[in-house]
Amino acid sequence: MYPVTEAFNAAITSSDVNMKARVVLRANGETYHLEHKDIQKDSLKVTYGVLPGDGIALGGVSGADLSITLTNDSGIFNHVQLNYAEIRPFVDVEISPGVFEPIPLGVFEVDTVDRMAVTFDRNFESIPLKAADRMVRFDLPFSEVDIPFPGSALHLLTAVCQRCGVPLGSTNFMNSDYVIQERPEGEISCRDIVSCIAEIAGCWAQCDRTGFLVLRWFKNPKFVQEAVLDGNTDTAYGGNFTDDWYINTYDGGAFKADAPQVVFTSGMFYDFSIDDAPITITGVSLETEDKTYLVGSPRYVMSIDNPLIQTQIPEVLSSIHDKIAGFTYIPFHGVCLDNPAWEAGDMVLLDNIEGKSYRTILTGYEYVFDGRCNVIADGESDREHNFRPTSERKYSRLVKMIGKKQEQINAMDIAVRNATAIISGMWGGHKIDGDKLDEQYHGNTFIADHPDIDQAQQIWRINLGGIGFSSTGVAGPYSSAWTSDGTFATNLIVANMIKSGLLQSLNGESWIDLDNGSFQFAKGSVTFDDTNGVRAYKPDGSYTQMSGDGLTHHDSGSVREYHYLSQTGTTGFSVNGITHLLINLDSAFTNKNFVVTVSVSYVSTNGDFLNNFECLISNVFYSSASFEIVAYIYGRTIDFSSQSIGVVSGGSMTISWTAIA
């Protein structure tokens, strides 16, 4: 239920309630404030829903639809192009003489693809318009979202919202830190991604009354058969869920279930029907290519088909099961009086309906200003729910097209446009002076979504300590804040340039010092500094170092060099006695600690008998990138009368060599 005051609740149920509808419309860069008289009678209708079909499910991404007819007696819209105009309808309810409480109905964009039957040169007395809320913006292809993987669910949802131009109102949700390893394949829309992340969070997604994307789930009506009362051993029997079952009211002592957000009495309905059996979620399942995972009982299972759940499947399903298992409600349908503050997703109490009371939920709400409204809790029987073919799940739920091609823009442009849209489009907030409240708020100024600071959820708070934003009420936490000690805390920073001395992870284990160029990653397993270069450490303390001197491995005081230069050659030369030969390498070997190997491929003694030969490396000159070999041949003469063995004075030799540095 949209947050309202007690005065509103009293006024809206009064038989002489005074309500006025109005619209703020933006088109062609102009803003039009349309009053009650500018809206045709009985034409304002908004349809809200949170489920993707007829039964309860996770991951709903249903948008709200608006239909309204504007009067045009003065011809003000004769030459106004209403394509993609933004419409913000409000209902103002008089809570005291001359004082009205405004209730926003949402932020909508006129759908001109096939829904607006007017022309540019029109002069109609009335103009019927149909529009969809910002959920339609997510019908862009996910291929247009430039984001690296792996990344967290929150990071992915933030990037999708930025690309689609929808501000994100939920940054603290279950499994927000779940890491998605790989980009999903196939033709997937951004709406599909939002749906998948909502499933991971155990939620459905919707655009709220101020145009923010939020992830939510129902309060649990907790329809039970037995309850222990007053903290003692007394037990009240709640029936067997036959035609006689209903909720009795007892003094529950210290135990207190969630309070319903909406209370319906029999006098509020023009028509009413209710199912004969409640629905209880018993399990969660996910099917992969080679395995089916089930957590809980198979009686009434939430089956999900989610390409983002790639690892830790049992853990993710268990967290979802812990959140929704045992959720119980009873389907119903009613036609009743209107209330602009009711919302699809509310928990309701059907109070004293034919002598019985039921706790259930709203899955859909068709609001008609000053008219009869439809309220519904959709549901399917166990058989209908469990035997639905999984092939009915479609990832691309394209119900509307945006109608014009959006240009490719870089991340900074997207961030600027997103910020502009949020700031310039944020209407209807309340400025609250803390000095006029309790002493605890002295020195504070608030900008909030509700005039009562204790009921507000989205709050900007400013005081000497800093400025911060909370999406969960005045108590915080303030997830985005700039404090007086110089700390700036936020979820995402997008900038053309960031000037900084030190960039450091939240746990301090990884950092980059931009002033001296040094860094450390992963608890010091990889480091860099000017003296040692890059070092990669193993758990035993040994490390590999890469510097200007080369690549080396250090282990317990010993150093092993890794070589990265090589050169080979073949040299032939004459051998006259003991012969010395200098071989020069490429200049790249200069001052490198290179190693040379030599092998002999050919020897000749010029007619003498070969007895032995030798070729050795005698000197290595690192500074000049050269090495010296010494070679000689042992032989004996052919003259047998005077044969002798010794170094041959004439011969030739061919050697092959390899140098590695």
pLDDT tens, position by position, 531-544: 778 888 887 778 88
Cα(225)–Cα(216) distance, integer angstroms: 27
Element holding 519 (H helix, E strand)? strand 519-521
Which tens digits make up the pLDDT trace of 20-72? Answer: 999 999 988 889 999 999 888 888 999 999 987 778 899 999 999 999 988 88
Tell me how many degrees the CA angle 566-569-574 measures, rounded to the nearest 5: 145
The answer on pLDDT for 426 being more than 90 is no
Nearest CA-CA partner of 248 in 97, 356, 331, 158: 356
Full-model pTM:
0.58
Q: 495 or 566, which is more confident?
A: 566
The whole-angstrom separation of Cα 540 and Cα 545 is: 15
- β-partners of residue 125 are none
For the ranges 66-70, 103-107, 416-420, the lowest mean pLDDT is seen at 416-420
Taking residue 259's Cβ as centre, other Cβ atoms within 10 Å add up to 9
Judge whether residue 404 has pLDDT over 50. Answer: no
Window from 21-35, 104-118, 138-152, 446-460 with minimum mean pLDDT:
104-118
As a whole number of angstroms, the distance between CA 155 and CA 157 comes to 6
Which tokens go with 122? 């029109």
Collapsed DSSP state (helix, strand, coil) of residue 600: strand
Q: Mapping DSSP to helix (H, G, I), strand (E, B) and coil, where does residue 481 land? A: strand
Of all helices (H) and strands (E), which one includes residue 621?
strand 609-621
- The neighbour count for residue 27, using CB atoms within 10 Å, is 17
Residue 408 DSSP label: P
Question: What is the pLDDT at residue 249?
Answer: 40
Q: Report in angstroms the alpha-carbon separations of 450 from 297, 342, 369, 430.
A: 42, 16, 22, 6
Residue written as tokens 């007086």? 484
Coil/strand/helix, residue 308: coil
CA 144 to CA 150: how far, in whole Å? 17
Local confidence band at 595 (pLDDT 50, 70, 90 cut-offs):
confident
The answer to whether the CB of 26 falls within 8 A of the CB of 472 is no
Instruction: 5-12: list long-range contacts, CB under 8 Å, 24+ apart.
Output: 5/95, 5/101, 5/451, 5/452, 5/455, 7/95, 7/96, 7/101, 8/93, 8/95, 8/101, 8/103, 8/341, 10/95, 11/93, 11/94, 11/95, 11/101, 12/93, 12/339, 12/341
Which two structure tokens, joined as six digits, stand for 333?
A: 């349908």
* Separation between Cα atoms, residue 143 and residue 599, nearest integer Å: 60
What φ, ψ does residue 287 adopt, rounded to 5°? Answer: -110, 125
353: nearest Cα among 276, 269, 279, 275: 269
Contact by Cβ (8 Å): 49, 363:
yes
231 token code pair: 């903290």
Q: What is the pLDDT of residue 637?
A: 53
| More confident position, 468 or 237 | 468
523 has pLDDT over 60? yes
Write out the H or E segment, with its range, that includes residue 163. Answer: helix 153-164
Evaluate if residue 88 carries a pLDDT over 90.
yes
Write out pLDDT tens, residues 627-653: 998 887 766 554 544 444 455 566 788
User: What distance, in Å, lies between the first and last C-alpha atoms of the chain?
Assistant: 74
Distance CA 387, CA 85 (A): 43
Which pair of structure tokens corresponds to residue 594?
């290179």
Q: How many CB atoms lie within 10 A of CB 635?
A: 24
DSSP label of 474: T
Q: What percent of the chain has pLDDT over 90?
A: 32
The alpha carbon dihedral of 202, 206, 208, 214 has a sign of positive
Q: What share of the chain is helix, strand, coil (3-state, %, to 5)?
A: 15, 40, 50
For residues 223 and 330, is the Cβ–Cβ distance under 8 A? Answer: yes
Q: Which residues contact 658 (CB under 8 A, 6 or more apart)?
A: 566, 567, 568, 596, 597
Q: C-alpha 1: how far from its chain's center? A: 26
Q: Distance between alpha carbon 187 and the CA centroid of its chain, in Å?
A: 19
Kind of pairing, strands 364-368 and 373-377?
antiparallel
pLDDT exceeds 90 at position 164: yes
Question: Which pair of structure tokens corresponds to residue 337?
Answer: 């009086």
Q: Beta strand pairing status for 283-287 and 301-304?
A: parallel
pLDDT score, position 183 = 93
More confident of the two residues 103 and 613? 103
Q: Are 327 and 283 in contact (CB under 8 A)?
A: no
- Confidence label for 229 from pLDDT (cuts 50, 70 and 90): very low
Beta strands in 166-287 (DSSP E): 179-180, 204-207, 213-216, 226-228, 235-237, 262-265, 269-274, 279-280, 283-287
Span of 18-27, 184-193, 295-304, 406-415 with lowest mean pLDDT = 406-415
Give whole-number Cα distances, 607 to 332, 520, 610, 649, in Å.
115, 68, 9, 11
